[in-house]
A and B are shown apart, each in its own frame.
Chain A
Amino acid sequence: MAADSVAIAFRNVDKTYDGGRTFAVREVSLEIPAGEFLAVVGTSGSGKTTLLKTINRLVDPSAGSIEVQGQDVQTLNPFQLRRRIGYVFQGIGLFPHLTVAENIAVTPRLVGWQKSDIEKRIDELLDLVQLPREARGRMPSTLSGGQRQRVGVARALAARPNIVLMDEPFGALDPITRDSLAREYRAVHQSLALTTVMITHDMLEAVLLADRIAVMREGEIVEVGTPRDLLNDPKNEYVRELIDVPRRQASEVERLAEARR
């Protein structure tokens, strides 16, 4: 696949409820090139999670179309589509009755991999997400929050997807774990040449990780741009407000540090 090919394309996507009166997603058109790390930022209720779910058909749009690697998703079998797209769920999302290894193996098993290949893949992924191989047989309830989300990432990557969707993946973690996990994931994204769409309400996280940021408000994308574009020249007033928060916080922290000297 060429580096500049389009991985995901939204074309005039609407998602309405209440028979068309309430819009969760409105008039979204966006192309995500292969290999890009896109962050979708917005407050809760802005429609960002709904938009993410239209990609693997957990939600079907009311109007418009979504293409994944050039194919209209409405023409694809939803189960097969979901199996070839990695998904990291908000909160935990691990299957509590399955071991770490079984959780990771879920999608490869669904697509019918050989048992020996699956076993090898589990070890590879545990290494990749920096979990000890002894964790294989442990149950999710015995893991820390950070370890669980590492398993979540490993499970999403298990069947070698090209595309990974992440729904506020690090939201429930403490700041230090969150920071290291986010940076590790960014490295994995790079080395595996993935296309990643990450939902977050944290503008700072988006600025630090993403190649591009799409800001959503009331179901619409109000602005899309690189972190640099948004920081230096936001076109939209709401976006300016959003981006000013981390910037102001950063400079205040800096000033405090200076003053103590």
Chain B
Amino acid sequence: MDAQIQSALAVLPDYLGQHVLLSVTALAIGLVIGLSLAIIGVWSPRLRWLFLTVAGLIQTIPGLALLALFYPLLLALSAVTDRLFGITFSALGFLPSLLALALYSILPILRNTVTGILGVDEAVKEAARGVGMTPRQRLLKIELPLAMPVIMAGIRTSAVWVIGTATLSTPIGQTSLGNYIFTGLQTQNWIFVVFGCVAAVILALVVDQLLALIERGFERRSIGLKLFGAIGLAAVLLASLFAGRTSSATQYVIGGKAFVEQYILAALIDKRLEDEGMHATHRVGLGSTVIFDALAAGEIDAYVDYSGTIWANFMHRTDVPSHSKVLSEVGDWLHRTRGITLAGPLGFDNAYALVMRRDQAARLNIHTIADLAPYAAKLSIAGDYEFFARPEWSAVRKAYGLTFHDRREMQSTFMYKAVADGAVDVIVGYTSDGQIAQYDLVILGDPKQSLPPYDAILLVSPQRSRDQRFRHALEPLIGRISTRQMQQANLSVSRAKNQLTPEQAANRLWQSVSAK
């Protein structure tokens, strides 16, 4: 446990620094836009209605969806500016997170500023006109100062929202305190999850209280209080920035999706590059399409995907040929359409498979999916959030005529325990997952070959395809990792006792791979 807290503390400066930088910048943009729109809105009731409605609508979009939407949006925009002006920008990480959070922060500031200014006593406004103030002077000297308590309350609400929502920027590639939560959730490292939540809460509380200090400064006309609050905010920002500067020049960025195996593989590739004297960082917890587009766009340099994912999701193929045929067609397609290089298979495969409890399978005499079919109508099945929407699912159902009594989607980490406990009867597991052995589960055969092969394949971005040093460093990983080794590594990170960090697991995996 101490080791986990220590490893959590080790990355805190980086996570916190990036989180603060992102939140503060988003809030600053939201503040400028919110205040401007509010001031225009005070003058024109029609525009006020429009602004408040649009801002209100944006607020109803779930934070995660809003963040995710900005990724393809910016990617498309970047492609347009590239064609028009030859300018490209990163659609991954900071920029989309910043824009989404800034949008998110507008509503409370806008609404409170409008309410505050409109709520200023008519007699006071009349007096301001009567003494000869211009509209600008009235706004700056009378209306804004009098509305300040209400405006500050809006800013505080925004600040707390933004700091909280910023934890959701992890899946689009922005490091934040959310990395603790997403990683912790995947690796069943609850200390990480709690650590991330507590850190975000403390940050939100500190910022809120500093803003409250400034608010009180306005109320009591105390320059000291305002100054104290402002200095406090500046100190939080500077300390975080300073702390966040630890990562120096990075040459290579390695991507990883949001599950344990990907964390380990990203750490492993990272380690290989560092061992060869190259600087690398990894961005893990990325969504499946986000990571693929990011590789094609060169925002990450390499990651590990699975042949079946490319085959079904991106090539939209439903036929299921042999491993080698899928590999060669996927390689061709990647190179032809995206310029991505398939450096080679790692050796293990992480296919979808229908998995059951050993005793139940024995009792019903089920060995293959075909044996399962007659019982399916009385059984329940669970899978990850993706599978039931994928073409493989309809392929399996059609091939074997499967209709289940009940279907549930759950966090993939929890499915194995769920089937072991009897909460569900069948799960759609991953063949390289260590929990299959841990809970003594059985993988059902697929005699009709309806599920495509999912060989782990190392993909390299277009601009790194000719980077010999880079390719050379990754070469020892190709074809060297067995399914058994990967299962063990996965288990070592996700098991309840003596958990390893993904980095530790990557080190062990490398030891066993290079020993051969």
- Report which A residues bind B (CB closer than 8 A): 56, 58, 78-83, 87, 89-97, 106-107, 110, 155
What's the minimum C-beta distance from A89 to chain B, rounded to whole angstroms?
Answer: 5
Q: A58-B130, A82-B131, A155-B131 are in contact. Are A95 and B142 (CB under 8 A)?
A: yes
User: Which residues on A sit within 8 Å (CB–CB) of B361?
Assistant: none
A95/B123 in contact, CB under 8 A: no
User: Which residues on B sit within 8 Å (CB–CB) of A80?
Assistant: 132
A89/B128 in contact, CB under 8 A: no
Interface string of B140-163 (1 = CB under 8 A from A): 001001100000000000000000
A89/B126 in contact, CB under 8 A: yes
B124/A96 in contact, CB under 8 A: yes
Assembly CA distance A90 to B132 (angstroms): 17
Q: Check B137 for interface membership: any CB of A closer than 8 A.
A: yes
**Residue of B123, B130, B133, B221 ringed by the most chain A CB atoms within 10 A:** B130
Assembly CA distance A141 to B510 (angstroms): 75
Assembly CA distance A58 to B146 (angstroms): 22
User: Which residues on B sit within 8 Å (CB–CB) of A110?
Assistant: 131-133, 137
What's the minimum C-beta distance from A95 to chain B, rounded to whole angstroms?
Answer: 6
- Which B84-121 residues have a C-beta within 8 angstroms of A? 121
Q: Check B127 for interface membership: any CB of A closer than 8 A.
A: yes
User: Which of B124, B132, B137, B221 lies in contact with A93, CB distance below 8 A?
Assistant: B124
User: Which residues on B sit within 8 Å (CB–CB) of A92?
Assistant: 123
Q: Check B250 for interface membership: any CB of A closer than 8 A.
A: no
A82/B132 in contact, CB under 8 A: yes
Given contacts A93-B130, A97-B221, 9 further A-B pairs with CB under 8 A are A58-B126, A82-B129, A82-B131, A87-B127, A89-B126, A92-B123, A97-B142, A106-B131, A155-B131
User: Which of A58, A79, A81, A94 lies in contact with B134, CB distance below 8 A?
Assistant: A79
18 contacts between A and B (CB under 8 A): A58-B129, A78-B132, A79-B132, A82-B129, A83-B131, A87-B130, A89-B123, A90-B123, A91-B123, A93-B123, A93-B124, A95-B142, A97-B145, A106-B131, A107-B131, A107-B132, A110-B131, A110-B137
Q: Which residue of A lies closest to B134 (CB)?
A: A79
Chain B, interface residues (CB within 8 Å), range: 10 to 19
Assembly CA distance A31 to B142 (angstroms): 35
A-B contact count (CB 8 A): 52
Assembly CA distance A81 to B137 (angstroms): 16
Q: A95-B142, A96-B146, A97-B145 are in contact. Are A79 and B133 (CB under 8 A)?
A: yes
Q: Which residue of B lies closest to A91 (CB)?
A: B123
What's the minimum C-beta distance from A79 to chain B, rounded to whole angstroms?
Answer: 5
A83/B146 in contact, CB under 8 A: no
User: Which of A78, A83, A90, A95 lies in contact with B128, CB distance below 8 A?
Assistant: A95
- Which B220-255 residues have a C-beta within 8 angstroms of A? 221
User: Which of B123, B130, B133, B146 lies in contact with A97, CB distance below 8 A?
Assistant: B146
Assembly CA distance A122 to B216 (angstroms): 28
Assembly CA distance A95 to B140 (angstroms): 13
Assembly CA distance A110 to B133 (angstroms): 7
B126/A93 in contact, CB under 8 A: yes
B124/A95 in contact, CB under 8 A: yes
Assembly CA distance A82 to B133 (angstroms): 8
